[in-house]
Amino acid sequence: MSENNLRNLESNSKPKITAQIEMYDQSTINNQIKNFVQIRDAQKKRCEKLEAMGSEETVAQCQTFLDENGERIQKQVSILKDLQNDIQSLVNKADNFEKDNDELNNLVQSDKYNRLAKEIVDIRSTIEGLNGFLERKKVAQPPT
């Protein structure tokens, strides 16, 4: 979910607890936190290396990376775009099922469930925001 989609979700409607329950996974969030710690540590190393290395060595290292990973990255982009289309279609389908179920609609409209759904969205929003920042800064995430 992009930062804009999260902002639209927050401004246009309350988060849906049924969607948040299905998407909340403590292990996934803990892995994301671990990933951010690795990114932070990698950026510290990056700064140290850039201070110590000459430009020829840096250029050679970048070229090697491109040669070894270019094709793999193109495949990953294709997979992610397919997943994006599939996920959007499934979310819309689930939304339609929820609209047709009055009892479920009443439950998900309660304050208790809306607060919990908002907190889960806040977790994801923070992760997305940090990922967006890292993307804008062109920071490569180290493998997890």
The string of pLDDT tens digits covering residues 10-52 is 445 777 788 788 878 888 889 889 989 988 998 898 888 888 8
Q: What parts of the chain have a pLDDT lower than 70?
A: 1-12, 140-144
Cβ neighbours for 39, distance < 8 A, ≥ 6 positions apart: 134, 139, 141, 142
What is the SS3 string spanning the chain?
CCHHHHHHHHHHCCCCHHHHHHHCCHHHHHHHHHHHHHHHHHHHHHHHHHHHCCHHHHHHHHHHHHHHHHHHHHHHHHHHHHHHHHHHHHHHHHHHHHHCCHHHHHHHCCHHHHHHHHHHHHHHHHHHHHHHHHHHCCCCCCCC
Predicted confidence at residue 8, as pLDDT, reads 47
Predicted confidence at residue 144, as pLDDT, reads 46
- Where are the domains positioned within the chain? 3-136
Q: What is the dihedral of CA 122, 127, 132, 138, to 10 degrees?
A: 170
Cα-Cα end-to-end distance for the chain: 21
Predicted confidence at residue 9, as pLDDT, reads 46
Predicted confidence at residue 143, as pLDDT, reads 40
